[in-house]
A and B are shown apart, each in its own frame.
Chain A
Amino acid sequence: MIRGHQLRKIRGRCMEAVCLLAALVAVLPLFAFLWHLAAKGASSLSPALFTHLPMPPGEAGGGMKNAILGSLLVVGTATVAGIPLGIGAAIFMTEFARPTVASVLRFACDVLSGIPSIVMGLLAYEIVVVPLHHFSAFSGSVALAFIMLPVVVITTQEMLHLVPHSLREAGHALGIPTWRIAASITLRAAAPGVLTGMILAVSRIAGETAPMLFTAFGNPFLSLDPKAPISTLPHMIFNYAISPYDDWHRLAWGGALILVLGILGATLLSRFILWWHQRSLNS
């Protein structure tokens, strides 16, 4: 005979088990994916992957130096343009704009962030590739900057909103100009969160493939010319993965591993910065 409270305990245990199962299922794909990626990619992870250029189809060996450097260039240029613009826009919206103007801009950003990346690529194609008559690294950066911009604006704005109003008030009461309060007090207080947002935004665009198809276009040779077509890591992974060559498949896995490790590293770095900042505030 099971008494009432025993039944309740058993029911509680069951619920706990169900929730644990759900949690395991939720994180399972991540670990399965990482395991699979490591197993497949680790074997092709070698110095040559970083230092060698691709070989012609059918020939063994070769690396992804062109794509790694290309990704750094295209993503770097997009970041240099997108982050200051996005932070500036967010500061304008939270610190200067009238509430109606700010909410219209915010709505625009929300819409912009939901637009598929391939459409953003199309936009960059229309305004850069078509007028210049050729594919280029620069057009790829423009596409990535468009994709990154709303992400930067939204996260920066969220972080600025978290800064207590009393700090801005204290700044005003000291006769500090509004722009200086925004830059030296509000943004500085929000800095760790903003930085995390930036790293996530960069991680997001580093993996974009679709918009690269008709902007950066790809290039089997090493090129760092912003006016010329360029290879990027996700695009090269795509090309190699759909090729009929086993050697290229292995390289694609290696490239994928590099890309994921890079993004994982950036995310961990942002966590570390947050943790370190929190700790230095408390000491």
Chain B
Amino acid sequence: MLACKDLKIEFDRKPVLKGVSLTFPPRKISAIIGPSGCGKSTLLRAFNRMHDLTRGAKVTGSVTLNDREIYADDEDPVLIRRRIGMVFQKPNPFPTLSIFENAIAGLRLSGVRDKNALKEAAEQALTDAALWDEVKDRLKSNPTTLSGGQQQRLCIARALAVDPEVLLMDEPCSALDPIATAKIEELMFRLRERLTLVIVTHNMQQAARASDRTAFLWMGELVEADDTEVIFTSPKKSMTEDYITGRFG
């Protein structure tokens, strides 16, 4: 189980996340919603230590995966990112690698050499990402020849190939049309059978239809977290209700 406790994040001494405690149950889709600038992406990026790469970012508090502290001194962020994968807002396949090479980039560039293993991993990951049938005849093509939705599924395949336990998705559909979005959501439901999924979204309908748990953030603080059904039908805080009914944000 992925969890954070009293997580605070600041950039150049400016606090962005002000002490958030949350748990993300395994084999469930958890959505993080909130208005722009509320710190949802910042929270998500703390879970695989992406803030380590940003100068001036300071993370305090605790993030644990299966009760092991991710921010412990002896934990290697590179290894943590192999267990906690990430998909970004804008599809970002490597433009100099082929579709096939993209799918197994995480394995090959981490030292896996066995050609047959890589081939199998590529097919498996592309199948898991519901992309295999569309690309199996053009594995050597450049990923920029794919549509936006296909590119995003390639990025998901790339993340799955490393066999993570958790998949973080940072507004994965905000650059996609409704049909491509539906495909990604379908895919999320299938991945839920074996992964912990955390998705940041600014699309309330998406959170309502495609998540099991929903956390509502506002100004760097957690307002409310509960089962998605509860959040969207009978939230406990009036602020949550105001936000999901579109009165602000």
Which residues of chain A have a CB within 8 Å of any CB of chain B? 98-99, 164, 166-167, 169-177, 180-181, 184-185, 188-189, 191, 280-283
Contacts and interface: CB of A to CB of B under 8 A. Distances in A.
Interface in B84-143: 85-86, 88, 90, 92-97, 105-106, 109-110, 142
B155 interface: yes
Interface stretch (B2-10, B47-55, B186-194, B226-234): B47-55
Given A169-B88, A170-B93, A191-B96, 12 more contacts: A169-B50, A171-B109, A174-B81, A174-B162, A175-B162, A176-B109, A181-B109, A184-B109, A185-B94, A185-B105, A188-B97, A282-B144
Contacts of B110: 174-177, 180
Nearest to A98: B55
Interface of B: 48, 50, 53, 55, 78-83, 85-86, 88, 90, 92-97, 105-106, 109-110, 142, 144-145, 155, 158-159, 162
A283 B82 contact: no
Given A170-B88, A170-B92, A176 B106 contact: yes
15 contacts: A166-B90, A169-B53, A169-B88, A169-B92, A170-B93, A174-B82, A174-B105, A174-B109, A174-B162, A175-B81, A175-B83, A176-B106, A177-B78, A180-B109, A189-B94
Contacts of B158: 170, 174
B95 A176 contact: no
B144 A176 contact: no
A283 B142 contact: yes
A167 B53 CA distance: 13
Contacts of A184: 109
Max chain B C-beta neighbours (<10 A), residue from A99, A166, A175, A281 = A175
B88 A166 contact: yes
Given A174-B159, A175-B110, A281 B85 contact: no
Nearest to B105: A174
Contacts of B105: 171, 174, 176, 185
Contacts of B83: 175
A239 to B, nearest CB: 46
B88 to A, nearest CB: 7
Contacts of B144: 281-282
Contacts of B86: 173
Contacts of B53: 169, 172
Contacts of A181: 109
A98 B55 CA distance: 9
Contact of B81 (A164, A172, A281): A172
A258 B159 CA distance: 53
A1 to B, nearest CB: 59
Contacts of A172: 50, 53, 81
B109 A281 contact: no
A98 B78 CA distance: 20
Nearest to B158: A174
Nearest to A166: B92
B53 to A, nearest CB: 6
Contacts of A283: 142, 145
List 8 tightest A-B contacts by C-beta distance, closest first: A175-B82, A174-B106, A173-B86, A175-B81, A166-B92, A176-B109, A188-B96, A170-B92
A173 B50 contact: yes
Contacts of A166: 88, 90, 92
Nearest to A176: B109
Contacts of A170: 88, 92-94, 155, 158
Contacts of B88: 166, 169-170, 173
Contact of B85 (A169, A171, A174): A174
Contacts of A173: 48, 50, 81, 85-86, 88, 159
Max chain A C-beta neighbours (<10 A), residue from B85, B90, B96, B144 = B96
Nearest to B106: A174
Contacts of A185: 94, 96, 105, 109
Contacts of B96: 185, 188-189, 191
A99 B55 CA distance: 9
A181 B88 CA distance: 17
B79 A175 contact: yes
A191 B145 CA distance: 20
A214 B222 CA distance: 72
Nearest to A170: B92
A163 B208 CA distance: 37
Contacts of A280: 142
Contacts of A177: 78, 109-110
Nearest to A164: B92
Nearest to B80: A175
B152 to A, nearest CB: 12
A20 B109 CA distance: 52
Contacts of A174: 81-82, 85, 105-106, 109-110, 158-159, 162
Contacts of B78: 175-177
